[in-house]
């Protein structure tokens, strides 16, 4: 959730730090700070938006070629300047920025206080600066390695020291860090987005690794100073992709990009004539996949909802038992896993703490691990045996939109890939492949209705409660639609399987409680119509998401948004897009910052 940036080189560090923090600020934060080494260490912190830090910096003359910066999302200690990073040791020599949680910080702090250390904050992070100080004898990386051997928890941290200048020391355990270099110096950040303007070739640190970065390059070792050889990964993202492109908000830009982002997820992966999907990331393990007799799909938030859709797709067309699991709960159960169980982790960032925890639990129990990830080089992609990249491009808005639809597309490709391994007919494979190829154009047709959906949002934005209902493939989309409205507009919304209505939720319905019903012309259409009639009988307003050509639905629902006809298994990809647009325009109508919803962060890297 927090963001880190560090620079050492020939240029003035401060502009590099501010630019990097701005590119990482989409992750969610409540305070920020920088420290730059010139003639002396100059540290400035501020609460609130990054603009507050920049305003304070206006009264300082900060020059120097070494520095670190941080945007913080509070965990330990309140939102204050004292608790903002960077944190210093007692002597103002060592400065630390840190993402993660130090679980044994209380024990360490008590020991350090007994040794005479004085603390200035309530944070767990400050323990690191004092602990490193305790081991410091002139060489910063040695002190960092020794200190981290006593730490229990998670960390992505960057450290600098006045008494060992001209270097950054970075270390990682379950919290991402990426390095880059160019002719101007060396860089480190928690997110590649902070570095793309400096280089598109990056090195991702693994857990337990320590990097020493200078203006001339870097060296990587483990905590015991055993050297590691690292290879750079070339990213496809450009700086321009992280800009708004003329749209008012990143969220709207990313919704409107979905025809293209889905095309990118499909590019080169469909073999329509043979009715197959070509997934290069899975080909090396295709023989192992044929022996899988059970699949667990796990994620958090929107990724978990994608897993629920995938459960329907894979069970129906591949013919193996599939379970969608909330990652936060999975790791604390005692799941029964056999040698032929596969575990599929879904994460946009590839750094979601709970998903990584579930993945590691499954791996320890012997599961064959797979991943669906959007961020190249992310931890999920490195810790799984095989997987598929989304290729959706960077997603800046906190509420996931294009990453979600790309996840659904990849799950459909996976269904086609595994289905053709296991007896799916050529005709069925060709039909799915052909229809997948049409999806980008069908999505574009829905996006062309954006103005009409904006009018609907204007009509309904004063309502305080919403119910979203769907069945079968679109039950998860009801959950996702409700989640988007909650995230973006802070409006109470509930997603339900429509069959649950008579078992409780219908008690809520009256003229002030609208329902959004996802009712495409599919195998459960008649069931959905019955549920909508129940709502209308109780005077509940209804917005229907229906298939083009359905004239009946207009006589039942108050308002209708039409989506093109497609295969039942692919309707969720189309049905969710009007719900994304409705939530976006609803939040805008209420005057909220839809790119940065309160209390939320883009990448949840702590439990």
Within a domain: 259: yes
Residues 185 and 41 in one domain: yes
CB 571 within 8 A of CB 522: yes
The encoded tokens of residue 476 equal 């998860």
Sorted by sequence, the CB contacts under 8 Å of residue 236 that are 6+ apart come out as 200, 376, 391, 393
Q: Are residues 261 and 177 in the same domain?
A: no
Does the CA dihedral 519-520-524-526 come out positive or negative?
positive
As a whole number of angstroms, the distance between CA 219 and CA 140 comes to: 14
DSSP 100: S
302 domain-assigned: yes
| CB-side neighbour CA atoms (13 Å) of 294 | 13
Give the pLDDT score at 333. Answer: 86
What element of type H or E holds 56? helix 50-57
Last residue in a domain, options 241, 274, 291: 241
Q: Which of 413, 22, 54, 555 is nearest to 244 (CA)?
A: 22
Residue at which a domain ends, from 413, 447, 481? 447
Same domain, 358 and 443: yes
How far is 603 from 191, CA to CA, in rounded Å? 10
What distance in Å separates the CA atoms of residue 16 and residue 11, rounded to the nearest whole number? 8
Do 21 and 70 fall into the same domain? yes
Dist CA 535 CA 149 (whole Å): 60
Chain center to CA of 82: 29
pLDDT at 118: 97
Residues 258, 207: one domain? no
The pLDDT of residue 599 is 81
Are 133 and 150 found together in one domain?
yes
pLDDT of residue 39: 80
DSSP 8-class letter at 197 = T
Residue 202 to residue 380: CA distance in whole angstroms: 17
**What is the rounded CA–CA span in Å between residue 172 and residue 99?**
9
Tell me whether residue 412 is in a domain.
yes
Cβ(453)–Cβ(577) below 8 Å:
no
Compute the distance between CA of residue 151 and CA of residue 164 in angstroms, rounded to an integer: 22
- 390 in a domain, yes or no? yes
DSSP 3-state percent helix, strand, coil across the chain (nearest 5):
40, 25, 35
How high is the mean pLDDT in each 10-residue block of the chain (607 residues)? Answer: 91 96 79 92 94 89 93 85 97 96 92 97 96 97 98 94 97 92 96 90 95 97 96 77 72 94 91 94 94 96 97 96 95 88 94 93 95 87 93 85 97 97 95 97 97 97 96 98 96 94 90 97 95 94 97 95 98 98 97 89 64
Check: CB of residue 27 under 8 Å from CB of residue 21: no
Q: How far apart are the first and last CA of the chain?
A: 11
Task: Kindly state whether residue 601 falls inside one of the protein's structural domains.
Answer: no
- Considering the domain architecture, whether residues 266 and 159 belong to the same structural domain is answered as no
| The two three-digit tokens of residue 536, written as one number | 């209308």
**pTM for this structure?**
0.76
For 76, 103, 372, 430, 585, the CA distances from 67, given in Å and listed in that order, are 24, 27, 35, 56, 40
Same domain flag for 583 and 442: no
Counted domains in the chain: 3
**Of 217, 241, 265, which residue sits at a domain end?**
241
594 occurs within a structural domain:
no
Please report which helix (H) or strand (E) contains residue 228, including its range. strand 227-228
Taking the C-alpha atoms of residue 270 and residue 478, their distance in angstroms, rounded to an integer, is 29
Which of 513, 531, 514, 521 lies closest to 562 in space, CA to CA? 521
Active site residues: 2, 602
* Spatial separation of the C-alpha atoms in residues 103 and 472, rounded to whole Å: 42
Angle between helices 426-447 and 402-421 (to 10 degrees): 170
Residue entry with tokens 């450009």: 238
Whether residues 95 and 177 share a domain: the answer is yes
Per-residue confidence (pLDDT) for residue 27, from 0 to 100: 60
Assigned domain for 604 exists = no
CATH code for the domain of 140: 3.60.20.10
Same domain, 306 and 221: no
Tell me, what's the pLDDT at 186? 98
Give the integer Cα–Cα distance in Å for 456 and 338. Answer: 50
Whether the upstream peptide bond of residue 470 has omega within 30° of 0, thus cis, is: no
Give residue 481's domain range.
450-589
CATH of the domain at 305: 3.40.50.10490
Whether residue 600 is contained in a domain is answered as no
575 neighbors 479 (Cβ within 8 angstroms): no
CA distance 62 to 68: 13
Cα angle 607-193-2, degrees, rounded to a multiple of 5 = 30
Residue 222 token pair: 């483990």
Q: CA angle at residue 590 from 589 to 592, to 5 degrees?
A: 105
Q: Does residue 422 sit in the same domain as residue 472?
A: no
Residues 264 and 222 in one domain: no
Q: How many distinct helices (H) and strands (E) make up the chain?
A: 18, 27
């Amino acid at each position: 959730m927090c963001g880190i940036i560090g620079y050492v080189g020939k240029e003035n560090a401060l502009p590099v730090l501010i630019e990097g923090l701005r590119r990482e600020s989409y992750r969610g934060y409540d305070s920020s700070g920088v420290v730059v080494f010139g003639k002396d260490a100059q540290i400035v912190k501020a609460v609130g938006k990054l603009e507050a830090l920049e305003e304070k910096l206006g009264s300082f003359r900060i020059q120097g070629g070494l520095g670190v910066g941080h945007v913080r999302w509070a965990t330990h200690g309140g939102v204050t300047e004292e608790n903002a990073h960077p944190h210093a040791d007692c002597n103002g020599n060592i400065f630390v920025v840190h993402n993660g949680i130090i679980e044994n910080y209380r024990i360490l702090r008590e020991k350090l206080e007994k040794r005479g250390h004085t603390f200035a904050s309530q944070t767990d992070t400050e323990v690191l600066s004092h602990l490193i100080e305790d081991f410091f004898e002139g060489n910063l990386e040695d002190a960092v390695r020794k200190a981290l051997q006593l730490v229990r928890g998670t960390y992505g941290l960057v450290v600098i020291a006045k008494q060992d200048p001209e270097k950054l020391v970075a270390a990682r355990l379950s919290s991402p860090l990426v390095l880059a270099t160019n002719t101007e110096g060396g860089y480190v950040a928690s997110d590649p987005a902070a570095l793309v303007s400096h280089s598109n070739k990056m090195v991702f640190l693994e857990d337990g690794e320590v990097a020493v970065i200078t203006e001339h390059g870097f060296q990587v070792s483990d905590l015991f100073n055993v050297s590691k050889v690292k290879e750079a990964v070339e990213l496809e993202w450009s700086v321009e992709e992280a800009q708004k492109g003329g749209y008012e908000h990143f969220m709207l830009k990313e919704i409107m990009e979905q025809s293209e982002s889905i095309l990118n997820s499909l590019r080169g992966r469909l073999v329509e004539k043979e009715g197959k999907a070509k997934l290069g990331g899975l080909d090396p393990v295709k023989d192992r996949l044929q022996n899988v007799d059970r699949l667990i799909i796990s994620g958090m938030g929107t990724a978990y909802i994608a897993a629920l859709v995938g459960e329907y797709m894979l069970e129906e067309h591949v013919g193996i038992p599939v379970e969608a699991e909330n990652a936060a709960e999975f790791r604390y159960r005692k799941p029964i896993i056999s040698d032929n169980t596969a575990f599929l982790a879904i994460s946009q960032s590839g750094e979601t703490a709970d998903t990584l925890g579930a993945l590691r639990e499954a791996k320890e129990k012997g599961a064959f691990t797979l991943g669906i990830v959007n961020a190249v080089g992310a931890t999920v992609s490195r810790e799984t045996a095989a997987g598929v990249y989304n290729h959706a491009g960077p997603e800046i808005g906190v509420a996931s939109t294009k990453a979600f639809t790309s996840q659904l597309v990849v799950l459909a490709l996976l269904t086609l890939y595994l289905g053709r391994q296991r007896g799916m007919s050529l005709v069925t494979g060709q039909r799915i492949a052909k229809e997948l190829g049409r999806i980008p154009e069908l999505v574009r047709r829905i996006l062309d209705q954006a103005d009409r959906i904006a009018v609907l949002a204007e009509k309904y934005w004063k309502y305080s409660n919403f119910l979203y209902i769907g069945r079968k493939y679109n039950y998860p989309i009801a959950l996702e639609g409700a989640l988007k409205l909650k995230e973006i507009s802070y409006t109470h919304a509930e997603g339900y399987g429509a069959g649950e209505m008579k078992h409780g939720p219908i008690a809520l319905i009256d003229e002030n409680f609208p329902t959004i019903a996802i009712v495409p012309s599919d195998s459960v259409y008649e069931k959905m119509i019955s549920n909508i009639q129940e709502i209308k009988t109780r005077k509940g307003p209804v917005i229907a998401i229906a298939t083009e050509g359905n004239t009946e639905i207009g006589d039942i629902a108050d308002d209708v948004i039409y989506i093109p006809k497609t295969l039942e298994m692919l309707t969720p990809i189309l049905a969710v897009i009007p719900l994304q647009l409705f939530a976006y325009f609803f939040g805008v109508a209420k005057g909220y910052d839809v790119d940065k919803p309160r209390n939320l962060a883009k990448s949840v890297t702590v439990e």
